[in-house]
Structure 1
């Protein structure tokens, strides 16, 4: 028995609806290629499809109805004998992200075929029966409500100790209507940025003290200075501490200083670590920090391509800045932890989280972070930080965390 090899693979990922409307209806016309053992000529078919988009799911339900009138081509029946073919099917439809002007789709489901053979059923073996179907296709939108829809649908039916195959090639006008689904705004937060100072040597003020040791880098040429490059006496920065005792000769006007002429140490980000020791001076209020003032765990707001471990290009800068921090502070190691939301199977989410965590680790390695200071782990859909029942909550749960430890 010949087979029609047109069963598509349904791949999981982030759904991309053709429109934002809750309902779609598609009047169809097409051509059915029938398997030879049905004794039927190939025939034209008509019908319609109704799709519901209101469910918060990657798979959209579709109800399909097809009608045909087909002629028999066998000498077992009188010449001119024909039959009516009715097909009803309930399918699940998955629509991929838009590629150029085309929205690819895949579908699969179950149906029932009724053939009005009357008294000829015993001669042809074409009885009413259930079937399974699978198909691929595409929508080509004209605007947000109307699109050309093209499909190829394979149907497999069991008929009294034999399998019958049919392939329907269909085209129709897809019309969207009803309320528009509400879409959640993306969650965006500013990442923690750690800046490193660059020291450039030289003697710009020509006072005989190199810039790297000069506490008074704008001393007029020829001035008498100490080993710090500052006037031997006086109070150039007007902070109340004579130059000879002033370790910070460029204090800002009105700045409160200590006996050495330097700014009184404070804790601007209220994390319990004084500014002079705080290498992460902008820690969000309330975050737990280590002795250097850095969060033990941060969320890197990295975006990935749909259903993929490929990092979106707009997230490269975030990863680059975190790599700079690790390269500047070699006493730290980082564990990269990947999480997903709860959609999809537990095993699938676990593997996806591992791939994404490992992708970030690989990018940090390429930025020069030593391999012995990096590790990665996937936690799947565990430890949610928000409600997976909402789009906003799922967006927060799809995250990459970086856990710092001292070497």
Structure 2
């Protein structure tokens, strides 16, 4: 029963291993992503063209088999003398990963065992002393698992050329043989087993050391231990014959030492079994470490020396020594057009000709005007910016403490039509008036008016394209005027 199950397993394993790197068929959808994929749009089908390494190879080699555990042996241990046979193998190999592969292997050879070589004459008393000679011709087909121990056990990268690799093999198959025995009466066939029979099941395991000659060719020395599961393999005759009663074991086992070559097939430079992912990771880390990580964050320099790179400086001609905001614009706290650097009255607006200080009795500037700060708006917007809330709250307090009324004046820059800017300025003034009323100012003390682009803080900004943006922003404003 066990033999039947083993043969069935072997028959099912061969096609499965040959197709092990193929894609799983998709039952529900034929396109990615689907219920069988990760859901990423970058999922692609695995094809031959997407491979980075070769994964097929063929191997061939020859060696010497020696019966080690049997009633007639090839080793001088009481059941025979040192006799050497011959063997050869050829295999087709498929690498599944960098550390595991499947080999379909055919072996052919002849073991020689007993007390003399069957090519020589037998002693006169060979049969009576049971010191006979024997030989066994065998053919075997097996499927082997191949574990690359060097890749599997590697934990650090020693930065050395990867040319040696230790492999472990193990598998099962079918063994056919013809066992002969010779004594003084001559040589005769004792046992014959046909392939793929119930009693032809066998197993083998061992290790091999590979050396990479080049990207195409490997040299390998291999030692395999073959368990025949048969007590008649050694040529001792029937299971309960006199010779087969020498030992209690029911399996004649032999060692097979071989030397072979492996030819790696494919269009790529390297084979998957010679790929060490850990070494590749360390190599990439070394490459990254050697790269210059310095980043030039100020490629255009700082022409005006205000500490703000020209890449995002909104005012490239800031006077030396002037304080600037994050955008590189010189500060003008009272919004009178005179930089704080030159303004003699930093918190009170005044004309340029008077160094930013007010001139008594000139123009419409009154004490009430100088107590209130105006606010600015974004381009094409009437939305009150959150940064202006403190200024407007201060205006609420001042207007409530004053006896007279105030006009809320809206203005724009010169971009756009007269009608558009008139409407926009009225909305800005109206929004500010509404904010003041909602926060406690009596509506009777306020009125609003929109002057459009006729009320410029910087008249020279007509058209706006000839002005720096900070002046255009100063023109987009709402300010307060005492009645």
The TM-score range, normalised by the shorter chain, is 0.3 to 0.5
Give TM-score scaled by structure 2 length.
Answer: 0.32
Q: Which has the larger radius of gyration?
A: 2
Give TM-score scaled by structure 1 length.
Answer: 0.38
**More helix as a share of residues:** 2
